[in-house]
Amino acid sequence: MFEDKERKLCIICSKGTLDMAYPGLILANAALMEGIDVTMFFTFWGLDMITKEKMDNLEVTPLGNPSMAMPNGMGIPNMMSMLPGMTGFATSMMKKEIAKLDFPPVCEFIQMIGDAGAEMYGCKMSMDMMGLTADDLHQEVNDVVGAMEFMEMSENAQVIFI
């Protein structure tokens, strides 16, 4: 007899830049819409995505990013990336493109995903290292857990590391 197994997805968010926040949020949202259980674990700089003071101020840095395209299709040269204002310019451009696609800002996206049933956890070790407490995190974050606890949560799940 075939046993119907419930699908489960765990997403580890380790980066805190605007361009690295959206892949995890979009995947979580898509999985939830498909009826898949979603657990998100925010570690190291990924904590910026759920930290109240930082989540609305994530930036994109073109420095060292060969995929930063200019209108002619060529990447922004690293030398140009070091110029004052380039991070702000790249961030502004990305926010405009995100808005064109009708995706919400990070804080709102976190709220939507939480409302839809995703479980979200901050990494205990990373939070201790950065001097953060549970009070620093968005209200949708379920708890702060260690890596071993997350390993138990992710048992039999598909795991994506971003």
pLDDT in tens, 86-111: 788 778 888 888 899 999 999 999 99
- What whole-number distance in Å separates Cα of residue 88 and Cα of residue 18? 12
Kindly list the structural domains of the chain, giving each domain's residue range(s) and its CATH number in brackets, ordered by start: 8-58+105-161 (3.40.1260.10)
What is the average pLDDT value for the chain, to the nearest integer? 88
Q: Is pLDDT above 50 for 31?
A: yes
Residue type, 139: Q
pLDDT of 72: 46
131: confidence class by pLDDT, cuts 50, 70, 90: very high
pTM over 0.85: yes
112: confidence class by pLDDT, cuts 50, 70, 90: very high
Q: Of 3-12, 49-58, 113-122, 123-132, which gets the smallest average pLDDT?
A: 3-12
Stretch 29-52: mean pLDDT: 97
| Tokens encoding 94 | 């990305």
Residue type, 85: G
Which is more confidently placed, 56 or 76? 56
- What whole-number distance in Å separates Cα of residue 92 and Cα of residue 16? 16
